[in-house]
Structure 1
């Protein structure tokens, strides 16, 4: 009987471990892509080296590419923007000097749109152009220019973004989702709790993030967006949707929420005054049950 109980306990322990939910934050500042130029296999590695002016969605990138057959790295420099435009240039023996000149001339969102025109005046030996990449389309397609020759180029990915604030949620049944892909690009999530119910599973997140991911414009680089998110899943941990509840917001002009904790610290209440977009209301955060209720 003791052996049976031991086996049962061990199996239960393993099952419990498998049901654990974890959140891990990993910031990507470089990406490696495989692909092909006119059917010839290549590899491209790009590194984020800074933002253009105050625009977080427009990045300077440096890196290299090589043909798989030779593995000789050919340097690249260029610009990536949020809309999927990626321009990469090789200037030969003057790569370092001309890369610096290119970046010095691209200092605004408007200049990003003129990247190729500016680069051509610096006489690149070869270059890649990917325009208006559809992030749901795989593979990513573009063109490779070598002298007067133009070749089709493909990257084996559906997303060419270089800089990413990944918030990976590791779920039971060996499943994983990244909030970067379906909530927003700003990250800032913290795992609070998770629970199961008749309609499936829930995960409760607290978040603090920039109001405007760009440092310019309204609420630029402000840390004023704070609140909770409840993520809903099926019983098999397939993602369904999420709800967001703000307790502070520069964009929505929500400030000075009154916070009240229960004695057992399992419930938190926020009294939130009237804002530009919402009437006065109360948020009740139930940590044990991974839920948030909004009431008048």
Structure 2
């Protein structure tokens, strides 16, 4: 009987552990891609080395590529522009010198648009250009140039962004999602609780993030976006959608907020004054049941 009870307890414990929800933050500053040049398989690695001006979506990058058959690394330097392009160059024996000169000349969003024109004056030995990063295509097509010779190049990915603030949610049934892929790219999520109901499962997140992912423009580099997100899942933990509730915002001008807690500290009430986009309202955050209710 003791052995039966022990086996039952072990199975129950294993099941319980498998049902946990966890959130892990991983910041990626480099990416490795597979692809091909002229139909020949290649591997390409790029490292984020800084932002251009104040725009987080435009990066200086360094790295290398090699033909998989030979694995001899060929150095690259260039500019990643989330708005549409990735420009990479090999300057041969002058790689370090010309890579530094290229970055010194590209110091603004406007200059990024002239990257290839600026680079060609430095006489690159090879150029690899991708001009349509935002077409949601996989693979991503581009062009490879060596002197007057041109060949097609492909990256086997649908997302070429180098710098990524990943927030991974590990879910029951061995499932995993990344909020970077479907909420936004600013990260800042904290796991509060999770619960099950008749309509499926819910996960409650608290977040604090920059108002503007870039340091320039309205609310640039402001840490003023704070609030809660309720993620909705099916009973089998397939993702459905999410709701967002702000308690502070530079972008929405939400600052007039009063916070109180219930005696058991499981419920938080926020009285939020009228903002630029919404009338005064109350948010009831139920941490035990992973829910947020908005009322007048």
TM > 0.5 fold call: yes
Q: Measure the CA separation in 1 of the matches of 2:281 and 2:40.
A: 61
Question: In the alignment, which residue of structure 1 is the partner of 2:9?
Answer: 9
Spell out structure 1 runs of 4+ moving beyond 4 A. Answer: none
Question: In the alignment, which residue of structure 2 is the partner of 1:91?
Answer: 91
Question: In the alignment, which residue of structure 2 is the partner of 1:72?
Answer: 72
**Structure 2 alignment gaps of length 5 or more:** none
Question: In the alignment, which residue of structure 1 is the partner of 2:232?
Answer: 232
Q: Measure the CA separation in 1 of the matches of 2:70 and 2:3.
A: 60
TM-score w.r.t. structure 1 length? 0.98
Q: Is the 8 A contact 1:165 1:186 kept in 2?
A: yes
Instruction: Out of 190-199 and 82-91, give the one that drifted further.
Output: 82-91
What is the Cα-based RMSD across aligned positions, in Å?
0.9
User: SS where residue 96 of structure 1 aligns?
Assistant: helix
Q: Measure the CA separation in 2 of the matches of 1:10 and 1:68.
A: 47
User: SS where residue 111 of structure 1 aligns?
Assistant: helix
**Structure 1 alignment gaps of length 5 or more:** none
Instruction: Out of 203-212 and 35-44, give the one that drifted further.
Output: 35-44
| Matched ranges for 1:190-201 at <5 A | 190-201=190-201
Question: In the alignment, which residue of structure 2 is the partner of 1:165?
Answer: 165
Q: Is the 8 A contact 1:135 1:159 kept in 2?
A: no
- The alpha carbon displacement at 1:140 in A equals 1.3
| Matched ranges for 1:142-157 at <5 A | 142-157=142-157
Q: Is the 8 A contact 2:191 2:206 kept in 1?
A: yes
User: SS where residue 102 of structure 1 aligns?
Assistant: helix
Question: In the alignment, which residue of structure 1 is the partner of 2:32?
Answer: 32
- CA gap of 1:250–1:53, structure 2 versus 1, over 3 A, is same
- The alpha carbon displacement at 1:199 in A equals 0.1
Q: Measure the CA separation in 1 of the matches of 2:57 and 2:86.
A: 12
User: SS where residue 133 of structure 2 aligns?
Assistant: coil
Q: Is the 8 A contact 2:82 2:133 kept in 1?
A: no
User: SS where residue 43 of structure 2 aligns?
Assistant: strand
| Matched ranges for 1:1-296 at <5 A | 1-134=1-134, 136-296=136-296
